Structure 1
Amino acid sequence: MMYAINRCRVTNVIMSNVRSMHLLKEKAFVNGKWSAAENQQTFDVYNPANGKVVGSVPDMDVSDANLAIKAASEAFETWKLTTAKERSKLLRKWFDLLEANAEGIAEIMTAESGKPLTEAKGEVVYGNAFIEWFSEEARRINGEIIPSPVATRKILVEKFPIGVVGLITPWNFPHAMITRKAGAALAAGCTCVIKPAEDTPLTALAICQLAHEAGFPEGVLNVITCDRKNAPDIGKLLCTSPNVAGISFTGSTYVGKLLNQQCAPHIKRVGLELGGNAPFIIFDSANIDKAVQGALASKFRNCGQTCVSANRFLVQENVYDEFVNKFTEEIKKMSIGDGVNPGVNVGPLINEMQFNKVYTMVEDAKKLGATIKTGGQPIENLGKLFYTPTVITNVSASMQVYNEEVFGPVATIIKFQSEEEVLKVANNTERGLAGYFYSQDISQIFRVSKLLEVGMVGINEGLISTVEAPFGGIKESGIGREGSHYGIDEYTYIKYMCVGNLG
């Protein structure tokens, strides 16, 4: 790690509010107990805004993960027999506790992820809503009676939980990505082994503490923590263990492909929410002021580190100059800094690896002739992971920023002439998670929304995530859907029962 170790504990770093203190856990959670790694190793969690140590958690390995899988497997034998109403009540208790402790969770999240406190609070509201939603959906996992072609038979269809599921979650939404998966899995009757990202394990442990307080039985919900070096082996174990029925992963396309390959020989249920390369199209008929506000929300939330962030801004020639000028002026007004400070709306990048990626891509664009309208450099006086919100024009297909997902506070803007042209550019990618466009032409709205090759479309809207809607992509952006009533399908199988000789 690039920072010198500063042993300030979280109590000194961020938390003046005593409500937060009982949520700060520095042990993993296995079989209903707070547990150290068998090898007694730990690793530090750093605040990306200032480099200080927020806390230390167990650096577990496959032996610890096997214990968590065993606990979840044993717990499944009784958890699968609970009624939908029983699971619903426990999930609702968890939701109520999450709501009561929202401030404390947000503080922990800001400390370890760097996102502004206002954004952290927004994620907590969003993440909590999944537990509320699935507490209600638990009682709506309905079967079916199908008319039989034979008078003496009855055809029954029922849904059952698949078993133990491994949930591997990312650092950019350390709360919501757990609740979106675990809420659905628990509602269906599955048990969980959660492996949070090494950059943000403390949020996962905080919400697990509240699940424990809600009364979930031992082994139903387990959280194992590990540093980057042990993550591949634990991920492989979750994919290959005969006691794990399914995997749900949110993260990079590269890792998602690897996990899918590891699951394939075992024919496991796989849910993947992978990288995007979202186009953001502004047509001539668009309301430019609303398009600018939508672009700001889509691009710079969480410092551009979201899988559904707009990555390529494609602007029709008649409104190109107006959009670029208004967009650039709004970006210049952004407040950048430590997320705990009032008014900050752009924090640091998560770690050195992500910072170097953003820096390299912008430098490559400069070298190949791009124009930097604003930004384009680090902000060293704030800290080692801060980068200015950046607008790049005169972008060509030879540049990295044209072809790759930036995952940072960098907006590339490309001019186009016709609808046909822009659809070719927008769809010319292996990714297909989200896409956005602004238009006031109703015929164009229905035409373009149909032709964009993505799983989710924002039409005159830059923020589209909500618990009620199915979240997921096509092409190399993933398999399956999360959230909505479709989200539980990933954790159930359908059993057909034929009752004969009814006479």
Structure 2
Amino acid sequence: MINKELKILGISKANLGTSTGTKQFAKGKFITSYSPVDGKEIAQVQCTTKKEYEKVIETAQQAQLSWRNIPAPQRGEIVRQLGDKLRQLKPTLGKLVSYEMGKSYQEGMGEVQEMIDICDFAVGLSRQLYGNTIHSERPGHRMYDQYHPLGIVGIISAFNFPVAVWSWNAALALVCGDVVVWKASEKTPLCAIACQQVLAEILKQNKLPEGISSLITGDAEVGNWLSEDKRIPLISATGSTRMGKEVAVKVAQRLGKTLLELGGNNAIIVTEEADLKMTLIGAVFGAVGTAGQRCTSTRRLIVHEKIYEQVKKSLVDAYKQLKIGDPLDSKNHMGPLIDQDAVAMYSKAVQSIKAEGGKILVKEEVLKGKGYESCCYVRPVIAEVENHFAIVQAETFAPILYLIKYKGDVENAIALQNEVAQGLSSAIMTTNLRQAEIFLSQNGSDCGIANVNIGTSGAEIGGAFGGEKETGGGRESGSDAWKVYMRRQTNTINYTTSLPLAQGIKFDF
């Protein structure tokens, strides 16, 4: 089904493995990529061995020595070419994302658009890697700070955004003068190979060295090699909180740097003064988009008691209209979960809801029969719960929406929202300015993302993306997120013939 797209993207049996550019090599065990759309095998990909990993890192080290000396605007030119190539390949790569991961085709193309957008952002950034000038307390001295490349950036990405997260990191790291080594999810290896092929061809056309962008393939063991490697100053890891904690410990033990973008348990607060039409659209897309497998997916809907019954009825009615099926068919609203393990997690979560006393409003179901051969399609669930339920406090990567009632002022709703371990995305639906401003204040949402009158899901690349608490504290994409990919240096220049010391210290002899 996807053979034409693989060919256009330059993927063949010859390059299904480790890569330091246009050179592919792998001798490890095989992993098989199955499509959750129809359950069919797409391809087998060979994993990276430890010996091959060492070759990748050595090649990356050599490439970085020359790459860092290329002026930043010229590095930006390479990223510009990547963005232009992605524009040409958007429908093709979007289809591969949809077929291998299971998200809708529109979402797949939207993910490629994110890649294009971050390339555009990074190109402009390549002329804006600003430091500050600082007034010295000593006469005849000048101070400033500047930023230098870190070296190798290790990227560990998850299945749910198999191409965008790599681009958020790679585009910024490259203009900052770093080289990248990417360990993609073993559930979506072909998307990673496609991205590596595209960038590798651009590097080759520009006569740039192997190793500026490298791909390693495998399971958690390969990720551990990156995390424990002292030659890699920064690890950017996206995935579960459990995974992030393991990475953080390993990197901290060698005093490396981490950029962690981990789990979310995102809520929309719906006040008594909300626009309910907007609320319904934001909540439904947030809950069922990507089959609830976004880190920004809406997990909890915290609704004021005055409008609770009305919101509940509207949601249940809306869910009856949802079409579930092949994500490449634009008529469908929701595709499959990534695999059978995800389906089992969905079913287990529903049982936990019932065991804790929750009420299922839209019943769970694993869909079977024609069009559902992969057995990865499920019916999205709505459940009435209490915020303190253990299952509600956890992140479930599935289309399960928890409906929670609150009473009184908006501060009560904010307290419920913040009463979870995760702190990624949040939103409030209200036409009341006071409520909106309280939500955005220091006494409001404790999340890295706080929205007013839009949902929790979907973010523009111009803003920094990430969250607090067990979400990890990292920031990717826009704003000044580029600074994490560079080392900061403070410089003081004395242009006099004397040597005064700071703080007025005297040291004469």
**TM-score, normalised on structure 1?**
0.93
The answer for the alignment partner of 1:108 in structure 2 is 96
Q: 1:402 aligns with which of 385, 388, 392?
A: 392
Query: Is the counterpart of residue 461 in structure 1 residue 449 in structure 2?
Result: no
Using the TM superposition, give the Cα deviation of residue 127 of structure 1 relative to its aligned residue in structure 2, in angstroms.
2.2
Task: For 2:411 and 2:474, locate their aligned partners in 1 and report how far apart those are by CA, in whole Å.
Answer: 29
Using the TM superposition, give the Cα deviation of residue 397 of structure 1 relative to its aligned residue in structure 2, in angstroms.
5.2
Partner of 1:422, secondary structure, is: helix
Partner of 1:493, secondary structure, is: strand
Task: For 2:9 and 2:265, locate their aligned partners in 1 and report how far apart those are by CA, in whole Å.
Answer: 39
CA displacement, residues 144-184 of structure 1 (integer Å, 9 cap, x when unaligned): 32222223322232100111111000100011100001111
- The 3 A distance-change label for structure 1 pair 284 and 99 is same
Paired letter, 2:401: A
CA displacement, residues 74-109 of structure 1 (integer Å, 9 cap, x when unaligned): 111111111011101100001100111111101211
The answer for the alignment partner of 1:219 in structure 2 is 211
Using the TM superposition, give the Cα deviation of residue 443 of structure 1 relative to its aligned residue in structure 2, in angstroms.
0.7
The answer for the alignment partner of 1:417 in structure 2 is 407
* Correspondence list, 1:90-109, <5 A: 90-109=78-97
The answer for the alignment partner of 2:162 in structure 1 is 174
* Correspondence list, 1:324-473, <5 A: 324-381=312-369, 382-383=372-373, 384-393=375-384, 395-396=385-386, 399-418=389-408, 419-450=410-441, 451-462=444-455, 463-473=457-467
Query: Is the counterpart of residue 479 in structure 1 residue 482 in structure 2?
Result: no
Contact 1:73 1:163 in 2 (8 A): yes
Using the TM superposition, give the Cα deviation of residue 19 of structure 1 relative to its aligned residue in structure 2, in angstroms.
7.0
The answer for the alignment partner of 2:501 in structure 1 is none
Contact 1:361 1:400 in 2 (8 A): no
Contact 1:153 1:502 in 2 (8 A): yes
Contact 1:153 1:498 in 2 (8 A): yes
Using the TM superposition, give the Cα deviation of residue 122 of structure 1 relative to its aligned residue in structure 2, in angstroms.
1.1
- The 3 A distance-change label for structure 1 pair 319 and 127 is same
Contact 1:277 1:405 in 2 (8 A): yes
Greater Cα offset, 114-123 or 418-427 = 418-427
Using the TM superposition, give the Cα deviation of residue 342 of structure 1 relative to its aligned residue in structure 2, in angstroms.
3.3
The answer for the alignment partner of 2:503 in structure 1 is none
Greater Cα offset, 299-308 or 65-74 = 65-74
The answer for the alignment partner of 1:32 in structure 2 is 21
Flag structure 2 segments of 5+ consecutive residues without an equivalent: 498-509
Paired letter, 1:479: G
The answer for the alignment partner of 1:10 in structure 2 is none
- The 3 A distance-change label for structure 1 pair 204 and 318 is same
Query: Is the counterpart of residue 305 in structure 1 residue 318 in structure 2?
Result: no
Task: For 1:410 and 1:485, locate their aligned partners in 2 and report how far apart those are by CA, in whole Å.
Answer: 32
Using the TM superposition, give the Cα deviation of residue 365 of structure 1 relative to its aligned residue in structure 2, in angstroms.
1.8
- The 3 A distance-change label for structure 1 pair 143 and 86 is same
Query: Is the counterpart of residue 150 in structure 1 residue 142 in structure 2?
Result: no
Q: 1:266 aligns with which of 227, 230, 254?
A: 254
Using the TM superposition, give the Cα deviation of residue 400 of structure 1 relative to its aligned residue in structure 2, in angstroms.
4.4
Partner of 1:436, secondary structure, is: strand
Contact 1:116 1:340 in 2 (8 A): yes
**Two-structure CA RMSD over aligned residues (Å):** 1.8
Task: For 2:337 and 2:144, locate their aligned partners in 1 and report how far apart those are by CA, in whole Å.
Answer: 52
Task: For 1:136 and 1:82, locate their aligned partners in 2 and report how far apart those are by CA, in whole Å.
Answer: 16
Paired letter, 2:451: G
Using the TM superposition, give the Cα deviation of residue 29 of structure 1 relative to its aligned residue in structure 2, in angstroms.
4.6
Using the TM superposition, give the Cα deviation of residue 436 of structure 1 relative to its aligned residue in structure 2, in angstroms.
1.2
The answer for the alignment partner of 1:7 in structure 2 is none
Partner of 1:22, secondary structure, is: coil
Task: For 2:322 and 2:496, locate their aligned partners in 1 and report how far apart those are by CA, in whole Å.
Answer: 72
Task: For 2:390 and 2:299, locate their aligned partners in 1 and report how far apart those are by CA, in whole Å.
Answer: 12
The answer for the alignment partner of 2:488 in structure 1 is 494
- The 3 A distance-change label for structure 1 pair 452 and 299 is same
Task: For 2:49 and 2:245, locate their aligned partners in 1 and report how far apart those are by CA, in whole Å.
Answer: 22
* Correspondence list, 1:65-76, <5 A: 65-76=53-64
Paired letter, 1:36: F
Greater Cα offset, 49-58 or 245-254 = 49-58
Paired letter, 1:334: L
Task: For 1:432 and 1:501, locate their aligned partners in 2 and report how far apart those are by CA, in whole Å.
Answer: 49
Query: Is the counterpart of residue 314 in structure 1 residue 302 in structure 2?
Result: yes
Using the TM superposition, give the Cα deviation of residue 38 of structure 1 relative to its aligned residue in structure 2, in angstroms.
3.1
Task: For 2:196 and 2:30, locate their aligned partners in 1 and report how far apart those are by CA, in whole Å.
Answer: 19
Partner of 2:306, secondary structure, is: helix
- The 3 A distance-change label for structure 1 pair 386 and 56 is same
**TM-score, normalised on structure 2?**
0.91
Contact 1:27 1:34 in 2 (8 A): no
CA displacement, residues 26-77 of structure 1 (integer Å, 9 cap, x when unaligned): 42353323423234x3221000122111112111233222221111111111
Partner of 2:32, secondary structure, is: strand
CA displacement, residues 168-227 of structure 1 (integer Å, 9 cap, x when unaligned): 00100011100001111111100110000001111111121111222253110001111x
Task: For 2:23 and 2:324, locate their aligned partners in 1 and report how far apart those are by CA, in whole Å.
Answer: 37
Task: For 1:427 and 1:161, locate their aligned partners in 2 and report how far apart those are by CA, in whole Å.
Answer: 37
Using the TM superposition, give the Cα deviation of residue 18 of structure 1 relative to its aligned residue in structure 2, in angstroms.
8.3
Paired letter, 2:122: F
Contact 2:9 2:198 in 1 (8 A): no
Query: How many residues of Structure 1 are paired with residues of Structure 2 in the alignment?
Result: 485
Contact 2:266 2:297 in 1 (8 A): yes
Contact 1:304 1:407 in 2 (8 A): yes
Task: For 1:17 and 1:171, locate their aligned partners in 2 and report how far apart those are by CA, in whole Å.
Answer: 19
Task: For 2:450 and 2:387, locate their aligned partners in 1 and report how far apart those are by CA, in whole Å.
Answer: 24
Paired letter, 2:327: G
Q: Percent identity?
A: 26
Paired letter, 1:448: F
Contact 1:355 1:385 in 2 (8 A): yes
Flag structure 1 segments of 5+ consecutive residues without an equivalent: 1-12
Using the TM superposition, give the Cα deviation of residue 347 of structure 1 relative to its aligned residue in structure 2, in angstroms.
0.7
Partner of 1:271, secondary structure, is: strand
Q: 2:10 aligns with which of 22, 45, 51?
A: 22
